[in-house]
Amino acid sequence: KIIPFKAVRPTRDKVGLIASRSYESYSAKEKNARLRDNPFSFLHILNPGFKYQKRITGERRYTLVKNRYKEFKEEGSFTQDKNPNFYFYKIINKDGHEFNGIIAGASALDYQNNVIRKHENTLLKKEVLFEQYLKIVGFNSEPVLLTYPDNKDLKEILETAMQSRPEYEFTTTDKKRHELWLINETKEINEIINEFENLNNIYIADGHHRIASSSLFQKSNPKHENGNYFLSLFI
């Protein structure tokens, strides 16, 4: 089962400045340069210690991550959609290869029931660490990457969405073009939900520890408003 959600996301004028890769993918030199030269980079949220010029770890870091996120919201760098949407995301790399998928909430219960299939074992220490992060910070910033079998009807819905102007259209310094559409019509949302309900299995491509940690969080917080789902990109 997948669900639409009300994303907190960058305003259109700042999205190219805020967008960042996964934190670990930057070299120390590259990371410091971006933090120094771009006050809007999402890296400032992930590395709140840069503001104080010192290394901060553990629960204190998680609390500061949450506070920096709130600061970005208060400064108007982020907006939250009023209604739940699916989000269609496309990347075109410098060689012209295109990758696209649906950003949505995936079910932690589906993971526990083996509808979402894993192919790697995880370390309990890492699961507990990220569960602690979720409890304090309260949001996912990097989606789990999930794959589903080719589906003609889903492909048609997404191709139709791409005929309109994207909400976001920008290029990053690694020469990748990013485009994002909001899928907010009730008919299309229901069609996407129904198509995914008819799939027997979904497979994890990347993010085994993130999804395992989200599952731990769900088990310990079964009545949490958003705890039954985790941020995912379905390709």
At 198, give phi and psi (nearest 5°).
-90, -5
pLDDT computed for residue 56 by the predictor: 80
What is the dihedral sign for C-alpha 50, 52, 55, 59?
negative
Yes or no: say if 47 and 30 are a contact pair by the CB < 8 Å rule: no
pLDDT tops 90 at residue 33:
yes
The predicted-structure confidence for 88-99, as pLDDT tens digits, reads as follows 999 999 999 999
- Rounded to two decimals, the pTM is 0.92
